[in-house]
Amino acid sequence: MTVADTDVLIDYLAGKGEAGAVEQLLRRGAIRTTVISRFELLAGAQNPKQLARLVQLLGAVPSLALDDTAADAASEIRRTLERSGRPIGMADSLIAGIVISNGGALLTRNRRHFERVPGISLA
């Protein structure tokens, strides 16, 4: 399962970056996102038209939840990276925990951050 990060979905709506790959995954029903990315996208909507486009996209891309297993994985990721002196942001830690706990591969432009996460698969 491919899990799209916030930046990839923004690029898709703008028709750039991994837009072609996202379109193919959408057609096959093989793409997910996280509730964290869903929040970031909806919170960042600048106007009603943009919000409507996001709602439509998110209607086609199911969100993976932040459940106990994902939260535990995220907390371990955060502690490990902080101890190593190479932390990533809270939202990225949560996204990584959700992806790992669901056995997904993260499709992101922010590879520099996520490559630090032990055990994560990047698409």
Q: Which domains does the chain have, with CATH numbers?
A: 2-111 (3.40.50.1010)
Instruction: Determine the pLDDT at residue 19.
Output: 86
User: Where does the pLDDT of residue 113 fall: very low under 50, low under 70, confident under 90, or very high at 90 and above?
Assistant: confident
pTM for the whole structure:
0.94
pLDDT digits (tens, 9 = 90+) for 23-44: 999 999 999 999 999 999 999 9
Taking the C-alpha atoms of residue 113 and residue 102, their distance in angstroms, rounded to an integer, is 19
Q: Give the bridge partners for 106, in sequence order.
A: 3, 122
